Structure 1
Amino acid sequence: METQKHFVIHGKHQKPIVIDVSYPENKTKLPIIIFCHGYKGFKDWGAWNLMAKAFAKAGFYFIKFNFSHNGGTVEQPIDFPDLEAFGNNNYTKELDDLETVIDWVFNTKEVTKLTDVNTLSLIGHSRGGGIVLIKAEEDKRVKTVITLAGVCDFANRTAAIGDLKQWKEEGVTYVLNGRTKQQMPHFYQFYEDFKANKERLTIKRAVSNLNIPHLIIHGDTDTSVLIDEAEQLHQWNPQSKLIIIEGANHVFETQHPWQKEKVSSQLNEVVKHSFAFLLP
């Protein structure tokens, strides 16, 4: 049997961080995984809950959380009721949130009594892939990192959000969420924060300096983050392992809401390859 618990912890930026943990009952010294969702994502998106359950069943202490400024709230962690927070999000806030969650893991007795904190792995999807790669390079507590459809460059994506001159003049630009039909705001601080922290936020620099096991998983029909980005990550870190999932799109043939009782066959491949990479 698997247990799931929920926590709310304080972030560094005046917003709470909502956390789920999933783990097998009556076991200790569990290896730890922290999963980071992507852009316009959240911890309960699609089949992520089923993925968490699969990792717990396999003997992991699996943590997933909402970034503090992803647009969700404690009361409504699914979707985007707080667009003001979404507009004030940026990459460094997400790195700070991830650090806060890692600190929580190491400093919470309820977690440490069940786990082996020396086994910490990070998994990131899409933009979250870039976040976990940067954090893995700068935080020696991280022992393994896995990216799922992960991005390789924040600079191009930041510049592509909107016309920079108009963005600066108006202070905000909007991106349509095709599923919810919301106009998602990005305040100009997003660009300013990237420019102020450009070296730290260069994924190539982080990946080139990684000296821990690194698994790259990508679908060959991904139109949101092209497979070229996975190949670029692998080139920057030749010691990494690259696995291509045939027929998989950006979310490995899942969607939100996901109402099936099992994950898609493509996401099941992701889970199995992750097990093989992480388990001795």
Structure 2
Amino acid sequence: MSWLAEPLAASGYTVLVQGYRPRAVRHQMRDVADVRNAVSYLLESGKGDPNRIAVVGHSRGGSASLRAAAEDARIKSTIALSPPIDIARYMNALREHSPSRFAMLAEAYGARPEDDPDYYRQISPIFYAPRITMPVLLIHGTEDMVAPKENSEWMYAALTRNSNSNASLELIPGAGHFFEHRFRGYLFAPVSNLVRQWLERTLAREAPLGDASG
């Protein structure tokens, strides 16, 4: 995520880049705790403004950011890039179209969706939507073959259905899961600009959070 962290830091933001834990069965159960611990570190070290904390994540990190936003009121703005949203629904689609990837992920998750539906709900941001009240920006490539754009569309619909008027969805035409474009290379610059503009809007010192429009 250096392609995003570096321009944000250059714009004056304090940026903490957090990696994933080593992959293990049910590794995603700890993701939210890791995000919350990172927020605690920023605040306890005096490096973060308690009124201007945002979390940004890509793919699994985007899912973790959304789940953390539902559980931690210290987070004032959230940005999810290419996030898987309904993991059971995603896995069931994989079962039909890519059985080998389905088997690999089912092993990593420790169960198939039908074997442990409660676990799949716990790691699926779609079920946290009623508790996410802060501004949320979803950014997704229209040609994402890993976690198709419908994931962010589902999440945006769930947020607005639950009265989050500060949710926004940006689709990047022709971009894949990592914002790669067949003819234009990686579209990191326009995505970085969207993120920066969102942070300026939702974390502005002079404007209350409620002033951010979706």
- Normalized against structure 1, the TM-score is what? 0.58
SS at match of 2:133: coil
Contact 1:219–1:248, Cα closer than 8 Å, also in 2? yes
1:118 CA displacement: 2.1
Aligned partner of 1:92 among 16, 20, 29: 29
Aligned equivalents of 2:195, 2:158: Cα separation in 1: 21
**Any idea what the Cα deviations from partners look like across 1:56-91, whole Å, max 9, x if unmatched?**
00111111111223xxxxxxxxxxxxxxxx233422
Which residue in the other structure is 2:130 paired with? Answer: 208
Relative distance call for 1:192 and 1:118 in structure 2 (3 A) is: farther
Which residue in the other structure is 2:179 paired with? Answer: 252
| 2:46 corresponds to 1:67 | no
Aligned equivalents of 2:174, 2:91: Cα separation in 1: 28
Aligned equivalents of 2:32, 2:131: Cα separation in 1: 17
Trace 1:101-250 onto structure 2 (pairs within 5 A).
101-107=38-44, 109=45, 112=46, 114-157=47-90, 174=104, 186=108, 188=110, 195=117, 197-238=119-160, 239=165, 240-250=167-177
Which structure's residues are more often helix, by fraction? 2
Relative distance call for 1:94 and 1:160 in structure 2 (3 A) is: farther
The letter for the 2-side match of 1:274 is: V
CA RMSD of aligned residues (A): 2.9
SS at match of 1:118: coil
| 2:201 corresponds to 1:272 | no
Contact 1:88–1:186, Cα closer than 8 Å, also in 2? yes
Aligned residues between the structures: 187
Contact 1:136–1:142, Cα closer than 8 Å, also in 2? yes
SS at match of 2:8: helix
Relative distance call for 1:128 and 1:234 in structure 2 (3 A) is: same
1:106 CA displacement: 2.1
Structure 1 residue ranges without an equivalent (≥5): 1-47, 70-85, 163-172, 176-183, 255-263
Aligned equivalents of 1:61, 1:128: Cα separation in 2: 19
Contact 1:91–1:194, Cα closer than 8 Å, also in 2? no
1:122 CA displacement: 0.8
1:119 CA displacement: 0.9
Aligned equivalents of 1:115, 1:278: Cα separation in 2: 14
Relative distance call for 1:157 and 1:213 in structure 2 (3 A) is: same
Which structure's residues are more often strand, by fraction? 1
Contact 2:59–2:81, Cα closer than 8 Å, also in 1? yes
**Any idea what the Cα deviations from partners look like across 1:210-236, whole Å, max 9, x if unmatched?**
211111111111111111111111111
Percent sequence identity over aligned pairs: 22
Relative distance call for 1:266 and 1:96 in structure 2 (3 A) is: same
Relative distance call for 1:157 and 1:253 in structure 2 (3 A) is: same
The letter for the 2-side match of 1:118 is: N
Aligned equivalents of 2:186, 2:43: Cα separation in 1: 34
The letter for the 1-side match of 2:75 is: V
SS at match of 2:139: strand
